[in-house]
A and B are shown apart, each in its own frame.
Chain A
């Protein structure tokens, strides 16, 4: 039997048999080389209570080349792209070793959620948020976990539009209201990052949250950015 197939099959079986680690690996389609991993968010972190799904693609030369992984679930974390789910982790790149397994890699991802590395960021804006105000960052991460990583019941699904796009961007409502009061319509004031689902975009459309998020209008930074700068950006 093909060594790669044997190894992947064994890894999947191992993971099934191991009830203690809470790591799951499932097939996406009939191929054993495209998988979906999932693990619970680690305790005592903003990710607690969430279930995080990871897209796994096993390359031709596995296990001698690293497995390709990215988050399917949206995660608010300095080392994970908030747009694409791409992950910045050394073992998925140069530090890969053939003795690492799918399970151990997923465990590494889990521990990455415990210990963000903002000095080596994948998502610079999130990392900026993290270093500016850890507390505010955590609130946003918790909100993302609740919004994206928590399995919801059917009737709640319909309330999608109720998502607080201000909280998703990690901003304070008071700040958004402040600029709304300056005469910028909420549609202009409150705009989601471009990856928001279309139905949210139509409600929220464009600009202000985007501007405030980009300027990192949070924590101590609020005092440093003067209003003119923001108004200028909003008018662009």
Chain B
């Protein structure tokens, strides 16, 4: 597999096309890896404890991976590429199981995947819509059974099963499947017919835009089936990250897999970006940083996913949106997608992972055959539990607020960083005018702001971590590090806000540069130490966190 990860030329071009701000040259953290042909060469010779290896793949690169799998299956089964693709998609790209099952009963597999029509057709008469007595003979005018159009120029279209409809209906049907339902497997329109439209057929019926969406759906499906791949969560970004080190749930207790998809923001389509949008792009749009292990789409180092999610959930408990989400949605027990139930029965099928479960007890539906009525009792018990936990949380509210206020403060400051950034740019210009410093020499200001932003992110999450850390020496040490970083950050922030007098620019420059380096150091200490702690299993929590020992056991 390893040699599969190659970057196409288009990918490299994209990176440079998007990189039109001209100010990102020194900010090459994510880039080093991008230009390497072979991912086996470590991205950095000295990898820090809080970083891990990953690769960014463009959609084209992922499509290549898919093609390789398809080729592989094609070679073994001796079928055409389209069939191999449908088989793989049906088996969620699990090649081993597909091969096993196919060898067992090839025909059954083909029927299940919607490639072939089942051989014996005892239900043949019922497959035809009853309202149409007989399918019209070829010589008669064709009447589409979907839209009842009988125009003479109507062309009947059908898959191998022969259930014909007019081209317009096929097009509308497939477009609606792809655009409204995000479904990549478009089955025949006839009732009970399980044949899936092959890619070529789909291509012929829909416009380019919908086909692009179709291709993206295929890639997304593939990515969601492979545990070492994750799709970039940023809007309209189509890149994928491969991170085998964080593929298993277990690994998430020791590493914080923050990755970047390699896209440098989406190239602006028009020159009419507002100034604030420009700023957003410059400060946050540079890299799509997200966590490979959980759903947080930003950097939540140093704290591990489980704890970060606990914290976020807690913070959202109060907000109105959260109340709505809480009362109207639940998470799929398998893939954790948020699901709103807006009608229908309690038998839920997750649109994304197809997991079937009971809305009331969230248990798998398969176990509900006859025992579904146990679900009714759940509500009462759940209600009691909810009330219990509520009174407990009220008791600890004060403690929580201490951490929350600091957490929120850093988040707020990080948001204000946009303003700070604008101000700093102005200052940089000012400096170039009032002093003899050149453009390159005033870059220290920008570096300082960037560093500040990064550190605030770290600080923010250290409060989430500290909230859940069990009392003890380890926590004290952690909070010492946190305090040092915080102090350094505030000093630097104050320096940056201070007014600029032409005569003391050189001293200011010296001070800012020194502080920046210091802050950077402190930040690394916090990140490294925490990451090491996770690897060594040094941290213990005051609540139960998935994958860690329970607090009681740890205390003994």
CA of A65 to CA of B131 in the docked complex: distance in angstroms? Answer: 20
| B452 CB, min distance to chain A CBs, angstroms | 50
| A32 CB, min distance to chain B CBs, angstroms | 14
Q: Is B147 touching A119 in the complex (CB atoms < 8 A)? A: no
Chain B residues with Cβ under 8 A from A79's Cβ?
345
Stretch in contact with the other chain, from B29-37, B58-66, B166-174, B239-247:
B166-174
Chain B residues with Cβ under 8 A from A101's Cβ?
129, 131
Q: Contact partner of B148 among A7, A119, A127, CB < 8 A?
A: A7
Given A125-B376, A127-B373, A63-B130 contact (CB < 8 Å): no
For residue B355, CB closer than 8 A to chain A, the reply is no
Q: Is A124 touching B373 in the complex (CB atoms < 8 A)? A: yes
Chain A residues with Cβ under 8 A from B344's Cβ?
86, 88, 92-93, 122
Chain A residues with Cβ under 8 A from B165's Cβ?
98
Chain B residues with Cβ under 8 A from A103's Cβ?
131
Q: Is A98 touching B375 in the complex (CB atoms < 8 A)? A: no
CA of A93 to CA of B348 in the docked complex: distance in angstroms? Answer: 11
Q: Contact partner of A64 among B145, B163, B176, B192, CB < 8 A?
A: B176
Chain B residues with Cβ under 8 A from A7's Cβ?
146-148
Q: Is B376 touching A65 in the complex (CB atoms < 8 A)? A: no
For residue A128, CB closer than 8 A to chain B, the reply is yes
Tell me how many residues of B have a C-beta within 8 Å of chain A. 36
Residue of B at shortest CB range from A91?
B191
CA of A25 to CA of B180 in the docked complex: distance in angstroms? Answer: 28
For residue A154, CB closer than 8 A to chain B, the reply is no
Within 8 A of B (CB), among A11-32: 14
Most buried by A among B147, B180, B349: B147
Q: Contact partner of A124 among B145, B146, B375, CB < 8 A?
A: B375
CA of A210 to CA of B180 in the docked complex: distance in angstroms? Answer: 42
| A118 CB, min distance to chain B CBs, angstroms | 9
Q: Is B345 touching A97 in the complex (CB atoms < 8 A)? A: no
Residue of B at shortest CB range from A14?
B131
Residue of A at shortest CB range from B175?
A64
CA of A120 to CA of B180 in the docked complex: distance in angstroms? Answer: 26
| A227 CB, min distance to chain B CBs, angstroms | 19
Chain A residues with Cβ under 8 A from B176's Cβ?
61, 64-65
| B270 CB, min distance to chain A CBs, angstroms | 31
Q: Is A88 touching B190 in the complex (CB atoms < 8 A)? A: no
Q: Binary interface profile of A, 59-98, with partner B (CB < 8 Å = 1, else 0)?
A: 0010111000000000000010000001010011110011
Pair count A-B, CB < 8 A: 84
For residue A121, CB closer than 8 A to chain B, the reply is yes
Stretch in contact with the other chain, from B226-234, B277-285, B328-336, B364-372:
B364-372
Chain B residues with Cβ under 8 A from A220's Cβ?
none
Residue of B at shortest CB range from A3?
B147
Given A65-B180, A97-B192, A131-B373, A120-B148 contact (CB < 8 Å): no
CA of A152 to CA of B489 in the docked complex: distance in angstroms? Answer: 79
Chain B contact residues, majority secondary structure: loop
For residue A181, CB closer than 8 A to chain B, the reply is no
Given A3-B169, A125-B376, A98-B180 contact (CB < 8 Å): no
| A208 CB, min distance to chain B CBs, angstroms | 18
CA of A125 to CA of B130 in the docked complex: distance in angstroms? Answer: 36
Q: Binary interface profile of B, 128-164, with partner A (CB < 8 Å = 1, else 0)?
A: 0111000000000000011111000000000000010
For residue A159, CB closer than 8 A to chain B, the reply is no
Q: Contact partner of A97 among B168, B191, B368, B370, CB < 8 A?
A: B191
Within 8 A of A (CB), among B353-396: 360, 368-370, 372-373, 375-376
For residue B177, CB closer than 8 A to chain A, the reply is yes
Chain B residues with Cβ under 8 A from A121's Cβ?
345-346, 372
Within 8 A of A (CB), among B85-140: 129-131
Q: Is B372 touching A119 in the complex (CB atoms < 8 A)? A: yes
Within 8 A of B (CB), among A168-188: none
CA of A100 to CA of B193 in the docked complex: distance in angstroms? Answer: 12
For residue B347, CB closer than 8 A to chain A, the reply is yes
For residue A6, CB closer than 8 A to chain B, the reply is yes
Most buried by B among A86, A101, A121, A122: A121
Given A3-B168, A65-B180, A88-B347, A119-B369 contact (CB < 8 Å): yes
For residue B343, CB closer than 8 A to chain A, the reply is yes
Chain A residues with Cβ under 8 A from B168's Cβ?
3
- 15 CB contacts below 8 A, A to B, read A10-B148, A61-B176, A63-B147, A64-B176, A64-B177, A88-B347, A97-B193, A98-B165, A98-B169, A98-B173, A99-B163, A101-B129, A104-B131, A119-B369, A122-B345
Give chain A's interface residues, CB within 8 Å of chain B.
3, 6-7, 10, 14, 61, 63-65, 79, 86, 88, 91-94, 97-101, 103-104, 119-122, 124-125, 127-128, 131
Shortest Cβ-Cβ A-B pairs, 5 listed: A88-B345, A97-B191, A64-B176, A3-B147, A122-B345
